[in-house]
Amino acid sequence: MVAKAVPLRTCVGCRVRTVKSELLRLVVVEDVIVPDLRGRLPGRGASLHPALGCLELAMRRRAFSRAFRTGRTLDAARLRDFLAGP
């Protein structure tokens, strides 16, 4: 029996490759990084573990501007609020 291939993605924060379903897809909408929960928003996506630690690593390494291939400063406040929870 042949095993089915599972899509892998790399977290932009910790740089660990893992199964796509364990990562949160992010997109940029008007210079704001927003979580794409359904995976349907248009545009270039980046993947991140849903943890504040990975977000902090990505911010410190300036990984979002590289992942989204933009030279602009991106706002991650909405993403930080989402990851912090209610």
Question: Which band of pLDDT confidence, cut at 50, 70 and 90, is reported for residue 85?
Answer: confident
Distance of CA 51 to the CA centre of its chain: 10
Cβ-contact 45, 12 below 8 angstroms: no
Percent of the chain with pLDDT over 70: 100
Helices and strands (DSSP H and E) totals, the chain: 3, 5
pTM of the model: 0.91
Question: Which band of pLDDT confidence, cut at 50, 70 and 90, is reported for residue 78?
Answer: very high
Average pLDDT estimate for 11-30? 97
CA distances in angstroms from 72 to 14, 65, 66, listed in the order given? 22, 7, 10
Can you tell me the distance from the alpha carbon of 64 to that of 68, in angstroms, rounded to the nearest whole number? 6
For residue 46, is pLDDT > 80?
A: yes
Say what the pLDDT of residue 82 is.
Answer: 96
Average pLDDT estimate for 16-45? 96
Question: Which band of pLDDT confidence, cut at 50, 70 and 90, is reported for residue 35?
Answer: very high
